[in-house]
Amino acid sequence: MDLQTITYVVVGLTFALYIGIAIWARAGSTSEFYVAGGGVHPVLNGMATGADWMSAASFISMAGLIAAFGYGGSLFLMGWTGGYVLLAMLLAPYLRKFGKFTVPQFVGDRFYSKGASTVAVICLLVASTTYIIGQMTGVGVAFSRFLGVSNATGIFIGMGIVFMYAVFGGMKGITYTQVAQYCVLILAYTVPAVFISLNLTGNPLPQLGLGSDMAGTDVALLTKLDQVVTDLGFSQYTTNVRGSVLNQFVYTLSLMIGTAGLPHVIIRFFTVPKVKDARYSAGWALVFIGILYPTAPAVAAMANLNLHATVNPGIVQDANFDLMAPDAQIKYDERPAWMNRWEVTGLLKFVDKNGDGRIQYYNDKSTDPKFAAAGWKGNELTVNRDIMVLANPEIAQLPNWVIALVAAGGLAAALSTAAGLLLAISSAISHDLLKDMWMPDLSEKGELMAGKIAMACAIVGAGYLGLNPPDFAAGTVAIAFGLAASSLFPCLMMGIFSKTMNKEGAIAGMLAGLGITMLYVFAHKGILFIKGTEFLGLFGGKANFFLGIEPNAFGAIGAIVNFAVAFAVKNMTTPVPEHIAQMVEDVRVPRGAKAVDGTHAH
């Protein structure tokens, strides 16, 4: 059976499974729609949380980023994993004990203010909307490559699948679908990694293969990779730092607190019966996440080495391989089939700059004279880092069923997180805005219908943004994580651990953190203009980041501003009412949890 047919069969079976689960797990009440009735088993919730957490960014992009940046790319691994640990230890159990449906509802009740809840809704909507663009774009890329349809058609199909199980099933349908999606994506990620590790090192465990010698040699895999990339003018793979050490640290911290503040994972902990179950499900989720994340560095390094070995056949086997030899590079006309297939998507491009018909893939910004002496006129191969995981099985010439499984896994990762984000958006609109603010007398049946309508509208909006990403599409991830880091995370932390933080401080802090982060990101992306001039003077200009900190890393600075402004305003305004301070104390004391009914505390 050919690759295209196998891919259709595997992906079609997984989609049928998702839809079947959605029909079985239809939501019949607002409690089932928002929090799956609060009765999900901790192990299943841990698995669903893992799927919700491991988005297209984790499945598709993370290993590609590590492959591109080497050691410097490890900040994504540390930031996202560390963010989950912060969420599990500092936020999830306490928010579950509070007994609410959503993050904005907690903010509104804790800070006794509909204004605070409204600001939290705005933060949630912007963060979730910008984050979902990447998921829908990932769906389009995977479909266009593996199913032979256009990017737009792929996004429409993805919208339809999510509509089937998210709108009808709500959190109940999403939860059990995400359990299935976790199984698909983890198999799709680890099975090729095992095959490739065996091929390169003879070790079936990728994590150990990363530190092993190349098969049949006494040269370590990472040593070989360092030799290859430095010979080609790139930075040494194992020591390359992303910017300055300060930037690397702040970037990691920003990802940590940003991911801990993203609401689509926080709401997963409202679906279990008890606070103890929230802690258990957090632990199980860390186990399930831990299967993929430690595998990513091995996948990245092996994919990087395999890509160079494709362009320069013999580079792995021959210790004395001469990269500068006239016939060292592969002829473009003899390139492997996988390169041709990815060229069709536009994510891999070749331009023959010196007219020799061979592919020169190197760092043409290097000042090493050997490249010019060999007649090379510039790098000729452009590889989008997001294809590394999806293309890795093809590069390694693995069986067709493995390639098809990876396609299904990439789609599962994108769809699972998209569903969680869409539910967070839906609940913010139908529950936090409509029910709690605008129409308090709305019946449960009416609220359930409003939630489904809001979900459907959110799916259409997400699809539109996936088809027509805004001008700042390259910065959407920075905006999503930076927004959550600078606004929601500090607010939640102060709401749980500070009995004296009042509504004025919380609102001022969220707005200040949000404002400074958005200003910095937009300015350095060249989007913000004031009177025709880019407003960059405050930060030292586009080429001179504030203390060398990239826009994508600025969320941590925004969080510091949030905390500082919140406490300054708190000290100048009315103290917290006594009953609110007592409520905070009750939430922190390890006693029983409230039922998750979504009603306001008094």
pLDDT tens for each residue of 432-456: 777 767 777 777 677 777 777 887 8
Beta bridge partners of 530: 533
Alpha helix segments (H runs only) across 444-554: 444-467, 476-483, 489-497, 503-524
Name the percent of the chain in helix, strand, coil, to the closest 5: 70, 0, 25
Residues comprising the chain, all counted? 602
Cα Rg of the chain (Å, integer): 25
Residue 406 is predicted with a pLDDT of: 85
User: CA 467 → CA 125, 134, 156, 307, 416, distances in Å?
Assistant: 19, 11, 9, 30, 19
Three-state SS at 464: helix
* Angle between helices 400-427 and 170-201 in degrees, nearest 10: 150
DSSP-derived secondary structure for 378-416: S--EEE-GGGHHHHHHHHTT--HHHHHHHHHHHHHHHHH
Give the residue among 58, 97, 45 at the shortest CA–CA distance from 285. Answer: 45
Count of CB atoms within 10 A of residue 215's CB?
A: 16
Neighbour tally for 547: CB within 10 Å: 12
Amino acid residing at 247 = N
Q: Taking the CB of residue 163, how many other CB atoms lie within 10 A of it?
A: 18
pLDDT at 90: 81
- Asked if residue 315 lies in contact with residue 232, where contact means CB atoms within 8 angstroms, the answer is no
Neighbour tally for 373: CB within 10 Å? 9
**For 415, how many CA atoms within 13 A lie in the half-sphere containing its CB?**
38
CA angle 283, 495, 98 (to 5 degrees): 60
How far apart, in whole angstroms, are the C-alpha atoms of residue 548 and residue 537?
15
Q: What is the reported pLDDT for 436?
A: 67
For residues 149 and 139, what is the distance between their CA atoms, to the nearest angstrom?
12
* Region at 531 (left for phi over 0; alpha for psi -120 to 50; beta for the rest): left
Pure H helices in 99-169: 103-110, 114-146, 151-162
Phi, psi of 507 (to 5 degrees): -65, -45
Whole-number Cα distances in Å, 409 to 174, 385, 462: 17, 18, 21
CA distance 430 to 446: 10
Helix (H) or strand (E) holding 186: helix 170-201
Bridge partners, residue 381, by sequence: 350
Amino acid at 181: Q
- CB atoms under 10 Å from CB of 146, counted, come to 25
Residue 232 DSSP symbol: T
List, as one string, the DSSP characters of 247-292. Answer: HHHHHHHHHHHHHHH-HHHHGGGGSSSSHHHHHHHHHHHHHHHHHH
The owner of tokens 């793979």 is 237
Q: How far apart are CA 90 and CA 100, in angstroms?
A: 17
C-alpha distance from residue 572 to each of 48, 234, 333, 450, 547 (Å): 44, 54, 72, 40, 31
Assess contact for 80 and 259: CB atoms under 8 A: yes
What does DSSP assign to residue 526? T
CA neighbor of 159 nearest in space, from 177, 139, 145: 139
pLDDT at 475: 46
Query: Cβ-count burial of 86 within 10 angstroms (0-12 exposed, 13-18 middle, 19+ buried)?
Result: middle
Spatial neighbors of 347 by CB under 8 A, at least 6 apart, are 141, 145, 383, 384, 386, 387
Q: 359 with 329: CB under 8 angstroms?
A: yes
Q: Are 141 and 155 in contact (CB under 8 A)?
A: no
Q: Which residues, given as ranges, of the chain have pLDDT below 50?
A: 471-475, 527-543, 600-602
